[in-house]
Amino acid sequence: MSIANLQEKLLFYTRQKSRINLQLSNIQMNQLSATRSSATKQQEYNQKLSALYYDEDHGYGTDEYSEMLLELQNDHEFEMASINSWESELELQKENLETQLNEVSSYENTWQKLLQTNIKNEFAYGGTGSK
């Protein structure tokens, strides 16, 4: 295979690696966003719990307290389950892209070695390819 063809293959794999790395960066930013959302939702939940506990009309010790507490807990669990599902999906995408990146890197290394061998053989003294 000619050197130009090998270089073209190498450029193709380099471009693939760049594309995958960009997607990985986007996923990591989304994971950061999910973590931040989770922390924000937890903080909001804690504030609502505190407000409910000290509420004069529906606070601790009233008949409505247990009912409102249960509703608040259910809403919070639903929101957290949604965020956890999103985080799990992002983790799966990340693992898939990391596998692709390893595969492309392996191909790139193979083609790079082949290119080096071809260059060495073509420019060896007398064209014999001796070492």
- How confident is the model over 43-93, as pLDDT tens digits? 999 999 999 988 888 788 788 888 899 999 999 999 999 999 999 999 999
Residue 42 lies in a domain: yes
What is the secondary structure of 4-30 as a DSSP string? Answer: HHHHHHHHHHHHHHHHHHHHHHHHHHH
Number of domains in the chain: 1
Residue 109 lies in a domain: no
pLDDT tens sequence across 29-42: 999 999 999 999 99
User: pTM for this one?
Assistant: 0.74
Question: Structural domain of residue 58, as residue ranges?
Answer: 3-99
Residue 40 lies in a domain: yes
Structure-token pair, residue 49: 């719990």
